[in-house]
Structure formats: structure tokens, C-alpha cells
Amino acid sequence: MHRCDLLLSEHLGRWVVVRNMIAAGCLALSLPAIAAGDDALWDIPLEELGQIRVVSIASGTETPLDKAAAVTSVISADDIAAIGATDLDQVLETVPGLHVNHSDQAFSPKYIFRGITSSNNPQALMLINGIPVTTMMYGNRGNAWGGMPVKAIKRIEVIRGPGSALYGADAYSGVINIITKGPEDIGDETIGGRVGSFDTRGGWLEAASAVGDVGIGLILEYETTEGWRRTIESDAQTSLDQQFGTSASLAPGPVNTGVDQLDTRLELTGDQWIFRAGLQNRDNLGTGPGIAQALDPQGQFSSRRVNADFSYQWPDLTDGLDAEARISYFNITQEPENDIVLYPPGAFGGAFPNGLIGSPGYKEQQLRLDVSAVYLAIRNHRIHTGVGSFWADLYEVTEKKNFNPDLSPKGAVVDVSDDPNEVWMPEEDRVNYYAFLQDEWQFAQNWQLVSGVRFDDYSDFGSTVNPRAALIWATTDTMTTKLLYGRAFRAPSLNELYVANNPVALGNTELDAETIDTFELAFSHQLDAQTFYGLNVFYYEIEDLITAVAVPGQVSQEYRNSGERRGHGAEFELGYRPMESVEVSANYAYQESTDKRSDAAVGEAPNHQVYGRLEWQATPVWLIATQANWVGEQDRVSGDSRAPVDNYTTVSFTVRATDFLSDWSFSLSAHNVFDADLRAPSPFAEPVPSIPGDFPMPGREIVAELQYRF
């Protein structure tokens, strides 16, 4: 019997519910019963593991959840449909210990794991099919993110905690791996449409075919929205008006959150190879609260993310040795579509009659080559090793502006892209070489030790070594206990290293990588065939945190390794299935993160979160689901005298009819039904915050979808 997350039926031949051992999703699926004499499933073949829920993100290869050397959540396409989600952020908010906040940069999402947060949120690594989609410019997904639709997603795997021993840079506070659908996942061709609040309209197409032995899968998604135009009462220009005796501010006024999305995913599969290509195109992306937190109702960016990767596998290359090679290319652009108005006309006492205008842009390309192998010929060991290289090139930086580096006016908007004394960022590149080794050793029937280490060498800030260890104990037939340790690092972004000619912040080429050491104790119990629960506690310490520090001179701040933090907390999850047609899942997360030097709360993240979902398959056609999400109050950073951001509760409903007419399906979702006033904390600034009332988030949203399968 699987000693961690399965409670098998005593009646052979019957199907039973299988629960996630450690995952936050509290998901269920079916598994054929296995003979009672099979008291250890750690050695069953991978093809049999396909019948149970597996995760690849924790150890780099497909592994049963009870063997995963991390605290991991898995969210399937069915879960996404039950949530009624249309965007990735709505899905990730259901994961315990992960809160989705929003940045001052066009409201780009911040994925805050266990209270670890910063303006650009480079501490959370996002992968698509195991490949990072991180821009080296900011170390995040890009500030012109513009959301991510969900129709192409097969499942989402989330690590809460470090992952640098496998994934390298930025797998720091957590890792999000998005697995997209391949030809085998699409099945019938599907076309669908969507309408919703905020003047939202969209559609999608899923199609699959085969040419000989080559499978072909294609998914297209398009959506346009005006966004939630909630009001900001006071902005950065409001305080400047008080200083200069002017009335230039556009506040009160609505945030600028419209966007046009086009996403395309293509996958070709052969016997031993996979080719994937993708396009994430964003046009007319609004500037949120304004790039300088002064309302800019007309400012818009465009962004294009193009990716392609090819992998080839050699199963049984020699006895007990499987190998894989992969090459991938990623290109990301961020370009202003019009003049970006940092401060409105009349700003700074009338010195800028047309407004303070600064329109930055950049283009970046990345190339990765990875070779990895799994060796199984040593008894009770699975050795996973790999080497690789990564090259990133910031090959075009642009800027148009009407001010000098000292903020004096130029009089007209000037293209300074080719002037090294004026442009905001020099064109730089980065090279990284790495090697990793990991051993999964089952040293006793009920015990497994996973240990590993990764070495990374960077051309611009040096090298780093990151180890990990996980002791996994199948405590009883239905209980599992884990003791985990991991070290991770966050690479300085190119912006933090090299930004120049910026009156706000200056880069620092002497920066070291941020580091974090995390300790975790995790426990899970499949109480019976209907009930699962799990609990994990964690503690971490952060060194060399990169922050902008006030310095004397013309530039007010410089990036330095000046921060140290510690944090601790716990996450609890519960899954209960009282009958075949009803499923309940819930989780609770607590965290406290403090500055080690001042012992003050880090702030800008909730200390408590509670989430619950009820799904009822009323008939074979109709599914009814409701969910509630309570987010506790969020403390302020040190020095910010504002009251904490209020707690809030959102309640959502989804009704879904599958094949209510032949080949037709329909869903209706209502998010934030009671129109709660959601706020994301705005950054603190002296003498007063630029937006004192925080960032308003979406109110009530209704979405209807109609789909036809042909």
C-alpha cells in the first residue's frame, strides 16, 4: 500500500478516490485497486504512475506526490473550470500560502509566497512547461504582463518554498510551473466565446490532429477588456499640487486597466521528441495607476512574448539510463504605444505644460540549452543530473522623454535611445552555466532521502551553490511525514545592476545574489476514503536582500544588498468527499515575516488567509460550485503610519452545464458577488504615499461562456 496519500479499497477490482499527499488542491481521481500484498508503491513503473496524480516540479522528473521533495500543489484543468477562472491569477489565489497582490507597474501581478514580497516580485519563478519565462530586465514575468488566460492549461504545479537546487535563479520563495495541453489532451475540436463585465469579450479555439506519427495540437485565445475602472481619490500629483499650489492632478479618476490579449500555443509530438511554440501578445495595455502613480488615462504599452522549445528523449540509452536534451528560445518586448505621461500637464508648478513624459521600452532575447539524465541502475537510487547554459541579451533599449536626468525640462519630447548619457538603461547581456546532481535514495522500506546540489556561474555577478535535502517517512499506511531543507538564490536583475540616468534609482554592479535558507516539516493523512488533511510548518532566513537605499546626491536611491529577513508560518489543508457527487476543499495559511535588523513586520502581505470551495455534481450535466476567500489585513512597511489594509472576503459562484445540448456546453460565473472593496497595498513614500488609499482591485464580475465541440 502507498504509505502517504492513498487509502486503497479493501475490495479488489473497485475504483477508489485518491488524494493529494501534500498538495494544497485537495484533489481527487480514481485508481484501480492493487493487491493487498503490494505494500510499497515507490518502485512501480512510470506508466503505472500515470494512473495516479504525479508531480514533476519537485524533483525534476515525474514523481508520485508522496515522494515529492517539496510542499507542492497540483491544480488540474477540471479544477480551473470548477473555479470559473478565466485568468491565471484567479487560480493561484486558491493555493495556501500564496497571495496575489498587484504592483504599481501597470498592476502587474505579484505572486507572494509566505509573505516574501517586493515591488517587482522577482522572488517567484514562473515556468511554462519547465522553462522560465523570466525577463532578465526586472527578474519577473515583465511589468507589461497583461494577464494569462487558462484554456491552454493542462495543469499547474506549485512549489511553496525554494527550488534553486533544480531550477536555479529566482526559484526562491516559490515556483509556478504551467503545463500546457498537448494533442493528446485536446481530444475533440472546440470553439467557444465569452462575454463579461468590464466590457469583456473573447473567444478560443482548440484543435488536434495527426500526420503519420506526429501529433499536432493548436490552441488560440483572444480577449479584449476595458478593465475595472475603479476610482483613485488621490495620487502622486495630488501631493505635488499641495506643494506648488496647483490643480494638475487627474484624481479622483479611474485606473487604466484595459488590455487586448492574443495567446497561441502550438505543440508537435513524436515518439521521442516534442516541439512547442507560443505567442503571448498584449496590446493597448493600460498603465494601471500610472507609471509614477499619477493617473495617466491614455498611456498604453504593448508586449510580445514569443517562445519555442524542442526536446528529444533517449529512453534506455543504456541499461538504466534515460537522457533528454532541450533547446529553447524566448523573446520578450515591452514598448510604449504612445507618450507615457508620468505626471499630468501642469506638473511641477507648470514647468511641464504638456506633462512630464517618459516612454521607456526594451527588447530581450534568451537562449537555453539543457542536457539531463536519470540513472536507475544503482539499487534503491534514482540519480538525476544535468548541465546547461543560458544566454540573455538586452538588445534594444529605447526611451523618449521631455526631461533631463536632473528632472529639468527639455521643452520637447526627444528620442534619447542612442544617447548613453540620457537613455534609462544600457544594453547588456548575461551568460549562465550550471550543473546539478540529485539522488533519491530509498534506504529503507518506509524511508527515502532526497539530496541534491546545483552550481551556477554568472558572467555579471559570480557563482552560487544551492543544496537541498528531504527526508520522507511513510509513517503509516495512510500518513506521511517530511523534513525538508533548501537553499535558493535570486539573481540581481539587469535593472538593479545597470539602470542609469534615472532620477529615482541607480544600478549597482557590485550586487551579490539574494539567498534564502528554508526549513519545513510537513505531515499528511488520508484519514479515510473520503477525508484528507495535511499540515506543514516552515521557517526561513533571507540574506543580502536587494533594496533601494537612500543615498546623497542627484540620484535619490541606489540598489544594495542591505536587507535581512526571517519568516515563519504554517499551512493547513483539508479535502472531504461526503458523497460521490459532492466535494469540499479548504485551506488556511499563516505567515509572519520580519526585518531581522529592526524586528519590524515586512508588511504588504496578509498574515492570515482562508479559502474554501464546495463542488456539487447535481446531475451528469450540471455542476454547481461556490468558493469563498478571506484575506486578512495587511500590515504596512516600517515607517508607514497608515492603518493596515483592511481584510476582505470574496464569494464566487459557478454553474456549468456540459453537453446540455448535443456537443454544447455553458457556464456562468460570478466573482466577488457581494462587491467587496478589495485593495492592494500601495508603496510607501516620503513624506506621504503617492496613492494613500491603496490600489483598488476589481469589484463584482459576471462572466458567461458558451462552447461547441465538433
Each residue's pLDDT tens digit, 470-479: 999 989 888 8
For position 557, what pLDDT does the model report? 86
Q: Is pLDDT of 38 > 60?
A: no
**Per-residue confidence band for 109, with pLDDT thresholds at 50, 70 and 90:** very high
CA distance 495 to 341: 21
For position 6, what pLDDT does the model report? 29
For position 62, what pLDDT does the model report? 59
**593 pairs with which residues across the strands?**
567
* 1 within a domain of the structure (yes/no): no
For position 551, what pLDDT does the model report? 81
Q: Quick one: average pLDDT of 612-640?
A: 96
Each residue's pLDDT tens digit, 574-588: 999 999 999 999 999
For position 63, what pLDDT does the model report? 56
- DSSP string for 178-211: EEEP-HHHH-S-EEEEEEETTTEEEEEEEEEEEE
How is residue 55 written as a grid cell?
Answer: 508531480
Q: Quick one: average pLDDT of 37-57?
A: 40
CA distances from 544 to 455, 512, 592 (A): 19, 7, 19
CA distance 325 to 311: 6
Q: Is pLDDT of 36 > 60?
A: no
**673 pairs with which residues across the strands?**
none
**Per-residue confidence band for 610, with pLDDT thresholds at 50, 70 and 90:** very high
Beta strands (DSSP E) in 636-677 are 648-661, 664-671
For position 190, what pLDDT does the model report? 96
Q: Quick one: average pLDDT of 363-384?
A: 96
Q: Quick one: average pLDDT of 121-149?
A: 94
Q: Quick one: average pLDDT of 464-485?
A: 93
Q: Quick one: average pLDDT of 513-524?
A: 96
Q: Is pLDDT of 16 > 70?
A: no
* 5 within a domain of the structure (yes/no): no
For position 67, what pLDDT does the model report? 58
Q: Quick one: average pLDDT of 200-226?
A: 97
Q: Is pLDDT of 3 > 90?
A: no
How is residue 46 written as a grid cell?
Answer: 512510470
How many contiguous H segments (helices) and E segments (strands) does the chain have?
8, 40
Q: Quick one: average pLDDT of 249-266?
A: 97
Q: How many domains does the chain have?
A: 1
* 624 within a domain of the structure (yes/no): yes
* 408 within a domain of the structure (yes/no): yes
Lowest mean pLDDT among 186-190, 393-397, 555-559, 644-648: 555-559
* 9 within a domain of the structure (yes/no): no
Q: What percent of the chain has pLDDT over 90?
A: 81
For position 701, what pLDDT does the model report? 97
Q: Is pLDDT of 13 > 70?
A: no
Domain CATH number, residue 451: 2.40.170.20
For position 14, what pLDDT does the model report? 25
* 270 within a domain of the structure (yes/no): yes
Lowest mean pLDDT among 22-26, 38-42, 60-64, 279-283: 22-26
Question: Is the preceding peptide bond at 687 cis, omega within 30 degrees of 0?
Answer: yes
Q: Is pLDDT of 481 > 90?
A: yes
Q: What is the mean pLDDT of the chain?
A: 89
Cβ neighbours for 154, distance < 8 A, ≥ 6 positions apart = 76, 77, 179, 180, 181, 182, 185
How is residue 69 written as a grid cell?
Answer: 521533495
Quote the domain boundaries for residue 673.
Answer: 15-709
Alpha-carbon Rg for the chain, nearest whole angstrom, is: 25
Is residue 93 packed enough to be buried (19+ CB in 10 Å), middle (13-18) or exposed (0-12)? buried
Give yes or no for a contact between 280 and 148, defined as CB atoms under 8 angstroms apart. yes
* 518 within a domain of the structure (yes/no): yes
* 7 within a domain of the structure (yes/no): no
Lowest mean pLDDT among 150-154, 288-292, 687-691, 693-697: 687-691
